[in-house]
Amino acid sequence: MLRDLLERTGFFQFEPAPLSDLTTIKLSHDPAYVEDFVRGRLSDAAIRRIGFPWSPELVKRTLASVGATLAATDEALKNGWGGTLAGGTHHAFYAEGAGFCIFNDIAVAIRKLQAARRFERFAVIDLDVHQGDGTAQIFQDDPSVLTFSIHCKNNFPLRKQISKFDIALDAGVGDDAYLQILLEALPRVWAFKPQIIFYQAGVDVLKSDALGRLALSPEGLHQRDRVVFESVRKRELPFVITLGGGYSVPIELTARAHANTFLLAREILS
């Protein structure tokens, strides 16, 4: 639905996601876990924690999701910004998946850049309603990566990790309070002096979201993205947008919210 909405605008060029190779994924994940997932050898408990039944199609979809973020990163390096209509799988840990996340695409992209010695300082701005716990865990001992998460306190995951910079919100926070918190927080991100930004642009902060528990309006979400995009444009940093979560009812509200994120990115960043 999201791709159809964006295709109808005529503003975007879409490319099929390439499949990531396993060697690249193993830069940020335990090689044994990667092999066990790809070959269908994970335990029943591990599969339940992920939330998807295993299948060869799931493997292909997962490799494509990571490959899409790697391709979006390449696009950002060439043209300033890139995006993927997937990714943001921030609940994937080093050696296990969780919460519908199998491999952490943002972590893989950062590790690949580190291996190539492309940059020295990285930032992840995660504004999904759920904490980016997997991302926080993968980079917990890496001072070159700032992990920043604004999320709902009383929501999945029940056991939070420690990001470099966490802001946990009470349920019911709406537009004005959220935007003020974001505006006050971003200077700390820029003080870190990142050289590339990864944005987990989950739209599950909407009041209409079935799993969110925050109360942003579509206009508030629009302003959230505008604040981030304008801050990035001012600093002329490479910028990668990943999809993140969205569970509004009806689902058309989620597709429209994601589409608005990409349309605003085109307006501000192109």
End-to-end CA distance of the chain: 23
Q: What angle do CA 253, 130, 154 make, to 5 degrees?
A: 110
Q: Where are the beta strands (DSSP E) in the chain?
A: 81-83, 122-126, 145-152, 165-169, 196-200, 239-242
Q: Which residues contact 245 (CB under 8 A, 6 or more apart)?
A: 88, 128, 129, 130, 202, 203, 204, 211
Contacts of residue 263, Cβ cutoff 8 Å, sequence gap at least 6: 6, 9, 11
Region at 98 (left for phi over 0; alpha for psi -120 to 50; beta for the rest):
beta
- The residue among 20, 40, 5 whose CA lies nearest residue 104 is 20
Assigned token pair, 65: 């999701």
Among residues 29, 91, 130, 258, the one annotated as catalytic is 91
The answer to whether 151 is a known catalytic residue is no
- Angle between helix axes 31-38 and 56-79 (nearest 10 degrees) is 130
d(CA 121, CA 147): 11
Cβ contact 167:150 at 8 Å: yes
Q: Which residues are catalytic?
A: 91
